[in-house]
Amino acid sequence: MSFPYTYSDTITFSNNELSLKSLRNIIIKELTSGKISGYSENEESGLLKLYSPFLKIPFQINIEVTNSEISYSVHLDYLIKIILAVIIFSALFSYTSLSFFFWFSSLFSVIFYTLNILIINGFVNSYILKILKKYNLISSEKEIWTKEQEQWLNDKNRCPACGQYLSDIDLICPECGLHLRRNKHTIPLDISKYKNEPIKYHYKKE
């Protein structure tokens, strides 16, 4: 089943000597810690049953670990059953107009469903990120740079953001407007060696 019965997300990590099976077992162990009780794992389907921190609503989760990603899908069958039960109960004991009941049912369903997804996803996501940080598996910024970006960062004559060539007197990248970490030049400034380079003057109001 797909959305709204299931909600899926992925987290990227850096692989190391830790085996994928061991990582999955660690994640399951953390998720089923004493903070959330009453879990069980179905060996046939691979689904792990947990309880939401909000109202202890049960949900099932399937976790898969690959070489660079942790994918998890949250099954929300119980949540949808609770929403339907509340709507039916309200319909049986409602003395309001039909239009008001439809408005109430729609608002309740959307708000309650969205709120639970945010809480459940935040709960699962935070535990997985906590584990990845503990075992130094979080991808660093350097690992997501392209080779071209690494060349820009190592070249002082180029803008680290867009790769534009810079002159020694540029305090702001003329292409993307990035503020460069350079010492401000004092006046008078010897510009004789910059004959072939464009010069931009910036006037600052007092």
> Residue 21: how many CB atoms within 10 A of its CB?
9
Q: What's residue 142's pLDDT?
A: 45
pLDDT band at 41 (very low <50, low <70, confident <90, very high): low
* CA–CA distance, 47 with 122 (Å, rounded to integer): 19
Q: Judge whether 144 and 152 are in contact, CB under 8 Å.
A: no
> Residue 65: how many CB atoms within 10 A of its CB?
21
Q: Identify the residue with better confidence: 146 or 105.
A: 105
Alpha carbon 191 to its chain's center: 48
Whether the per-residue pLDDT at 113 is higher than 90: the answer is yes
